[in-house]
Structure 1
Amino acid sequence: MEDQGTSIPPVFSLGLVEVTNTVIVTWGILALTGVFCWLLSTRLRLTPSPLQVAIEGVVLAIEDAVSAVAPQHAREIMPFIGSLWIFLVIANLCGLIPGVHSPTRDLSATTALALLVFLSTHWFGIRIQGLKTYLQHYLSPSPILLPFHLISEITRTIALAVRLFGNMMSLEMAALLVLLVAGFLAPIPILMLHIVEALVQAYIFGMLALIYVAGSIQSHQLRYPPKE
């Protein structure tokens, strides 16, 4: 039986590179999502099917969430935030499939996601504001605060990775312990708990990423609002 602890054993090796269950499941999610989106895009109709209506509803919900936080730059950052949200929902819920473990129960996976948010935050900030203008916010309101700004960038990235990992790992462990104690007497409450918690954690991670990206984009506008 696969180890339920924090150590994820490799499934196979490619030279010096060890491929774990986390990597395989992540590849599978990316492949299936890509194929699904491609197939859906080739079957769009003016009279939408129920599936198309559901997908359009998801897209509109993501668009509204992004627009509420960063209305002036929603078009630029929505593809990233939307893709992150969709991946996290699928990754968190795939633990419900027998024999499949959620990639987000692996600290290496959540660290990679947190680093992606970290890099994207600076990339969007530099792309939209320009390098000089973006870097100025690290010296505001005083250059003395530069070390604290840098420390906050590191600590929030670590917190982003550890929060998702800890919650998803504890969720799987709690479900396992309850099933070991109660058997299958209470599978539906455990299933519902897993679904709700998985969706909540995906929402929190994506919303924090959205806030970080929006903050990097709007830092200059917040300090120097346009004159009326």
Structure 2
Amino acid sequence: MQNLLISLLESSLAMSAIALVYMAIAPLLSKKFTAKGLYYAWLVIVVGLIIPFRIHPQESAININTLIPGLKAASGSFGEHAVSAATVTSLVIPWSVLAGSLWLVGAIVFIAYHAVRHRRFLRMVKRWSDEITAPLVLSTLQDVQTKLGIRRQIGLKVCPGISSPMLMGFARPVILLPAGNLPADQLELILQHELVHFKRGDVWVSVKLAWAVI
């Protein structure tokens, strides 16, 4: 448990530093690399945040024990000298248990909060969205799918409760459009944008980002 937490802290610090540097130099990189290349670079950072294990030499670049020297001392045996009640408590309960418990509670609260919000959103979409049956719109969707080489059928609905187009769903992907008439040229660009998200698997990337935050 203690080794796992130390590994999590070290990798989180290292990848957070890399992410900050990447964000700082992103404007320069955008002049030399494509948006797709920058996108996959972010994915590497996200995966690094999710996976705490590294293949590294015996000495880590960032050693959590040097940053927080009292962590391991808190889990040591009881000293010979008298100490305060707070110190006794920290000695009886290892720091790894306290830190692990705090992380677990935070993760549960984070997941519960976003699960409730997502459930409310799904209920709103189910109640207020309507299938789009206009032949011209469906034909445009089919044409864009054919250009992008997407054979899977993607649903298309209009939902007054959203302010911008979005893609949602894993088993049954659907594109949601806000209420209001869209010009034909804008509609094709919007559908292409959302279908590129589907082809790249960005819905799964959103899940990875949420897991990285945890």
Report if TM-score (shorter chain) is over 0.5. no
Q: TM-score, normalised by structure 1?
A: 0.29
Larger radius of gyration: 2
Q: TM-score, normalised by structure 2?
A: 0.31
Higher helix share: 1
